[in-house]
Structure 1
Amino acid sequence: MEKRIITISREFGSGGRFIGEEVAKKLGIAYYDKNIINEIAEKSGLSPEYVQKNAELSPKKGLFAYAFAGRDITGKSLEDIVYEAQRKVILELADKESCVIIGRNADYILKDRADVLNVFIHGDMPEKIQRIMGLYNVEEKETVKMMADTDKRRMTNYNFYTDQKWGKASNYTLCLNSSQLGYDRCEAIIMECAK
């Protein structure tokens, strides 16, 4: 297989991270998710804990938090610095090897490359609720709140830094419903399209 980059954006609870990890294993290529946080932290000069909280999710306050965030003398906020470092790391990884990259606006960052397959994984509410309740051992009410909060923050971050709409089909090569297709079939479709 010639070099191939697969980006996976996903709704919280859709299993996108699991699907991406399995695709990487089956294709025998690198998998990047939280394991790039230390590199982003190093490039940004910020702590790994700060990067983990802020590299993919917007501040809890929403879109206006970006507009009114504290900025340094260059006009950059801490979120801007994290995004810039994240962008550099993702570009370097894509240049280096075939890989699967989860989230972090990688689809947009790598949009000008011909060797990228951009995937968006979504799911139906009942399946996502069951998955999150099982993974995080929380009640249904808390699960629904976690889903809404996480997806809203992902969407805000994506929309702010890309000037595009998170989850909009035209931003991706493939949009797959993991609840309808199942994880195995999602993996098979991604691998087939990555050939």
Structure 2
Amino acid sequence: MGKAIASTVISYDAELLEKIAEESGFVKEYVEEHGEESVGKGWIFQVFSARDYQGHSYRDDLWAVQRKIILELAEKEPCVIVGRCADYILRDREDCLRVFVHADPALRAKRIVEHYGERSDSPEKRIRDKDKRRITYYQFYTNLKWGDVHNYHITLDSGQLGTDRCVDILTGLYHS
């Protein structure tokens, strides 16, 4: 959906990963895996895992670089940034539209299989695991609840509306 919306605005997805990897010194795969979700499923894991004696971690370094780059890109030009706590990072910008798109887990599972194919883990399990890691990461770095409607200007149920309609709504908002 982000790519479809980005046909009218610049989108940073792969480019964002490249920029973060280049500036942070981490390989792209590390940035992909740790840049918007916790490696563990619990808040306690996020707080105490892989930290030095001062409480610092590589994930904190990655967060700082990611935050800096997101702020720079948003300052440079109108763009679409999906995930990576960009809604929180850009919360003080009046020109930022904070959006949360959600769908029923069964529909999300169906889309995962259509897009990525079957794997040994069930798509429902992959969604649960990934969402738990996203929730932990988001809460740790923002002190907010991931998916809470109060954090966004608009939330859309792509299961009810369909992805094409969500794209139409968001591009319409951008052009208005």
TM-score by length of 2: 0.92
Structure having the higher strand fraction is: 1
Q: CA deviation at 1:63?
A: 1.5
Q: Structure 2 unaligned runs (5+)?
A: none
| Regions of 4+ moved over 3 Å | 72-75
* Residue number among 157, 160, 163 corresponding to 2:143 in the alignment: 163
User: Which structure exhibits the higher relative contact order, with contacts defined as CA atoms closer than 8 Å and separated by 6 or more residues?
Assistant: 1
Residue in structure 2 matched with residue 138 of structure 1 by the alignment = 118
For 1:120-160, what per-residue CA distance to the aligned partner results, in whole angstroms no more than 9, with x for missing partners?
00012232121112222226961111000111111111111
Within 2, Cα distance between the matches of 1:74 and 1:63?
A: 18
Helix, strand or coil for the counterpart of 1:193?
Answer: helix
AA aligned to 1:76 is: H
Residue 33 of structure 1 contacts residue 103 of structure 1 at CA under 8 Å; is this kept in 2?
Answer: no
Q: CA deviation at 1:61?
A: 4.3
RMSD: 1.7
Count matched residues: 175
Residue 91 of structure 1 contacts residue 109 of structure 1 at CA under 8 Å; is this kept in 2?
Answer: yes
Within 2, Cα distance between the matches of 1:108 and 1:122?
A: 17
**Structure-to-structure mapping, 1:73-92, within 5 angstroms:** 75-92=55-72
Percent identity of paired positions between Structure 1 and Structure 2:
45
- Identify if the C-alpha distance between structure 1 residues 168 and 85 changes in structure 2 by more than 3 Å, giving closer, same or farther: same
Q: CA deviation at 1:37?
A: 1.4
TM-score by length of 1: 0.84
Q: Structure 1 unaligned runs (5+)?
A: 1-18
Q: CA deviation at 1:179?
A: 0.7
